[in-house]
Amino acid sequence: MATTRSGGAIPGRSKTSCLMRQSHLCLLILLLNAPFSLAEITGGYQTPNGELFTVFPSGSEKNTYRVWNITNGLIGRLTPDQNDGYVWKNDNSQQSSKVMIDASTIRRDGELIARKLPFNLEQVEFESEGTKLSGIFVFPQGEGPFPLITYAHGSGKGSIFNSGNPYSFPAFGIATFFFDKRGVGSSAGRYTQNFEILVQDQLNAIDFARAHPKVDADQIAILGVSLGGWIAPLSAEHRTDIKALLIRVGPTVSTLENDRWQALSPLYEKGYDAEAIAQATEVVDAVHFIARSNLKDGWREFKTLKRKYRKTAWAKDIAGMPEAFLEHSRIGVKTYFWWSGGFSDPDWDPMILLRTLDIPIRWTFGGKDTQVPTARSVELLNHEIEHNNKPWEIHLLPEADHNLVAYKELDGEKVLSHFSQAFLLDEALWLKQIFEASGR
């Protein structure tokens, strides 16, 4: 099914962002561009003992499917073997077994492992400001109408068709509408991190989804990941039909403060001394001066610092915008930021917007996230919850990184293990409760 629909413009906001450029999924793991196609085995499954998991194409591993266990957080992969079956590998235990998969079941040695859940998938196209964007509806079994959650991308270029997120919620009676942002996957247009454009695309996607006969137009939520943790509340600001926000690893500090954290956190993590941190801070401040001028001023001063510090040990470890400035020429930097849509307002403070929102919001942060200043973000949110009685919840996963996954040591190497504390299940149950309460 292919449909087109467009919406209106956002009044009065023009903000852009390149500050989350190193986020991986933004979410989640191993997401790269993919064709607009879904394999038969893609979808949600349930084991005989009630565990839920999703299967979806991997964007980075050819002929491989990723497995997310919603119930216990385990992660795995399915790879075709030479006998029309698949090898199922558990990333945590590193153990593998052969399984057979047909249209409705997964079996191991003839024994039923899981049944495919009867979701209804619709791949669609819709139009946003003259650009065709590709997306997918995933509906629970039945006629509906169903409450619905949409998706606000992170800064990465991963296709939503290589993600398990669309299949995590329908098992709980919640439909999903996730789409590839412009310039990603099968969506047309030029990739951008421009806030105004991304928010407008989000609003047009919501309008398109609300018109579907299986969608309860009064029961809408947004899942925002990383950079999407800024886009989701910016979108909710313009709507009265948004009942809740789910935000994963979304910073609540200013864009400048977040980039400063990204730049310096690797240096703190690796134990650089106060002198090295002070030198790196000089570079960060110089880069932000150039950013504030929209790449017009401050280049001579930065060039002096670049000559002075580019051969220091910390220069290879600094991240965020300063990394790009140190690695590339002036022309290269300008080309990159043209490609990514420009700069955000370095002093834009998301808390000013969040204080105006009184809808339920659930944040999930990783304690080992080097892309977002988790402690400061949590501190700001807790202040609002305690002093202004906001209907918000904060969930901190101490061992999780920016992808909310945990790692373990295997043969001296750090390898992916599992999603921390099975937060996917907690999110779905929380949102189901919100929708049930608001629908009474």
Pairing label, strands 405-410, 392-397: unpaired
Q: How many CB atoms lie within 10 A of CB 433?
A: 13
Task: Supply the pLDDT for residue 342.
Answer: 61
Torsion of CA 245, 41, 113, 118, to 10 degrees: 60
Rounded to two decimals, the pTM is: 0.85
Q: What are phi and psi of 199, to 5 degrees?
A: -65, -40
Q: What are phi and psi of 361, to 5 degrees?
A: -135, 135
Beta bridge partners of 126: 133
Residue 173: both structure tokens together: 């009676």
Query: Taking the mean position of all CA atoms in its chain, how far away is CA 244?
Result: 17
Element spanning 116, H or E: strand 111-116
Q: How many CB atoms lie within 10 A of CB 162?
A: 26
- Rounded CA separation 327/132 (Å): 35
Residue for token pair 């002075």: 308
Task: Supply the pLDDT for residue 157.
Answer: 81
Task: Supply the pLDDT for residue 28.
Answer: 26
Q: Is 242 helix (H, G, I), strand (E, B) or coil?
A: strand
What tens digit of pLDDT does each residue of 369-391 get? Answer: 989 999 999 999 999 999 999 99
State which amino acid sits at residue 77. R
Among positive and negative, which fits the CA dihedral 349, 352, 355, 357?
negative
Residue for token pair 């997918």: 136
Task: Supply the pLDDT for residue 282.
Answer: 95
Task: Supply the pLDDT for residue 381.
Answer: 97
Is residue 159 within 8 Å of 180, Cβ to Cβ? yes
User: Closest Cα to residue 420, out of 353, 380, 368?
Assistant: 368
Mean pLDDT by 10 residues, the chain (440 residues): 33 34 27 43 93 86 86 89 86 85 91 94 94 95 94 85 84 95 91 88 96 96 94 93 96 90 92 96 92 89 94 93 89 77 72 95 94 95 94 94 82 72 90 88
Residue for token pair 């209804």: 120
